[in-house]
A = this chain, B = another copy of it.
């Protein structure tokens, strides 16, 4: 109510605490992303945010609720209905890699995946994200057979993230993004096509042909 008539403040509810709250959250994301849930300490987060540990508690209540706040994620999936079917695989893989490697300050994805492996709460959040974001986006692009394809595609893309960003398998980290697109696109495309075939006919005799490897 007081700041409402402030002529010089274009931001209506800009409290001073929101600033430090954001700083804490960013520090927490960094720590959760690189250390995982268990090894991340509130004291370390507070130190990174240059603030007292008790402030973290005051603003977020507990370590678990801070974790929940760090898990808020929007995958920002593109509109897949616009891309031609034969380009779907490459588009999908490329966007996935872009999303992971673009903004280094945004480790939300890393937080989620790393934690989901050992933390039940993060795993449930992941189920939720699959159901509310991944499945619908793929459903719009693939039609009825999406229900069968989406889980497999998720498996393939998460396998990529796992080996590249978490385990950091040298044979995978050595490849440039576009090389990874080349390497994975045939498999992704085959998954989509196999489902389309299965939807068309009950036979599964033909081995799906790979998309032209450029």
Contacts and interface: CB of A to CB of B under 8 A. Distances in A.
18 contacts: A39-B118, A104-B214, A113-B117, A123-B167, A151-B171, A154-B169, A155-B163, A158-B162, A159-B160, A174-B208, A176-B209, A176-B211, A179-B206, A183-B191, A186-B191, A187-B194, A189-B207, A193-B207
Contacts of A193: 186, 207, 210
Given A36-B38, A165-B213, A197-B213, 11 more contacts: A86-B207, A151-B172, A159-B159, A164-B213, A175-B211, A179-B206, A186-B193, A186-B208, A187-B194, A193-B207, A194-B210
A154 B163 contact: yes
A72 interface: no
B194 A186 contact: yes
Size class of the contact patch on chain A: 35 or more
A101 B214 contact: yes
A125 to B, nearest CB: 10
A163 B151 contact: yes
Interface string A113-155: 1101110000100110010000100000000000010111011
Nearest to A185: B194
A214 to B, nearest CB: 6
Question: Interface centre among A117, A151, A209, A210, by most B CB within 10 Å?
Answer: A210
A156 interface: yes
A202 B36 CA distance: 43
